[in-house]
Amino acid sequence: MPGLAAVTSVAALYSLGAPAIRQFIVARLCGPAAGNHEERQAMSRQAGVIREIAEDVYKTLGSGFSEEVYDRAMQVGLRLANIGYEGQKVIELKYKEHYVGEGYPDLVVHLGDEKLIVELKAISGELGASEEQQLRNYMTILNVQRGMLINFQQPGRKQGKTKLDIRELIL
């Protein structure tokens, strides 16, 4: 389809319409599936599309909103890119086979036969060990090998420039 090679932003991709989005995703994400190396590369490209959506959300909205706003915006971006996902999936937390509570990963993104857990934050500081551990816990419980932690950084006391922080985790 003409114009796909020139796509440089998520907004440009959206403007091409649903058939072009599907074709772009298939071409960009799937590629030749001839083994583990190619599958890992495809998964990395798919994670790259999620990264691009997050960058577009941050570029468009900026900082200062609640995590819920960024979550909704990410869901819009995933829908517009025709990427399947589950939002706020409820998972039971158990201790010795007894229910002790629930967890709610922000996004469980479906990438072909694989899944990717996306945990969103809107905090003023840097991402730390507790945020990474929360993502690892969800990945372990759901038996998902890859995860992405995204912080739409909020203005802090220093009132310096905010940034988008994206970290990928692999179990």
91 within 8 A of 103, measured Cβ to Cβ? yes
Per the domain annotation, does 109 fall within a domain?
A: yes
Per the domain annotation, does 154 fall within a domain?
A: yes
Per the domain annotation, does 60 fall within a domain?
A: yes
- What is the strand order of the sheet 107-111 is part of? 85-87, 107-111, 114-121, 146-152, 164-170
Per-residue pLDDT band at 102 (split at 50, 70, 90)? very high
Give the predicted TM-score (pTM) of the model: 0.72
Cα–Cα distance, 141 to 94 (Å, whole number)? 10
- The residues near 69 (Cβ < 8 Å, ≥ 6 apart) are 61, 122
Alpha-carbon distances of 105 from 64, 81, 136, rounded to whole Å: 22, 21, 11
Per the domain annotation, does 5 fall within a domain?
A: no
Q: Above 60 in pLDDT, residue 30?
A: no
CB atoms within 10 A of CB 40: 13
Per the domain annotation, does 120 fall within a domain?
A: yes
pLDDT confidence of residue 124: 85
Write the single-letter amino acid at 69.
Answer: V
The 3-state DSSP class for residue 12 equals helix
> Domain total for the chain?
1
Residue ranges making up the domain that contains 131: 10-170
Per the domain annotation, does 89 fall within a domain?
A: yes
Per the domain annotation, does 79 fall within a domain?
A: yes
Cα–Cα distance, 59 to 11 (Å, whole number)? 11
88 within 8 A of 106, measured Cβ to Cβ? yes
Q: What's 131's domain CATH number?
A: 3.90.320
Give the residue, 46 or 79, on which the prediction is more confident: 79
pLDDT confidence of residue 24: 61
pLDDT confidence of residue 2: 46
Q: What is the pLDDT of residues 77-97, one digit of tens each?
A: 999 999 999 999 898 988 999
Per the domain annotation, does 2 fall within a domain?
A: no
| Mean pLDDT, residues 116-140 | 91
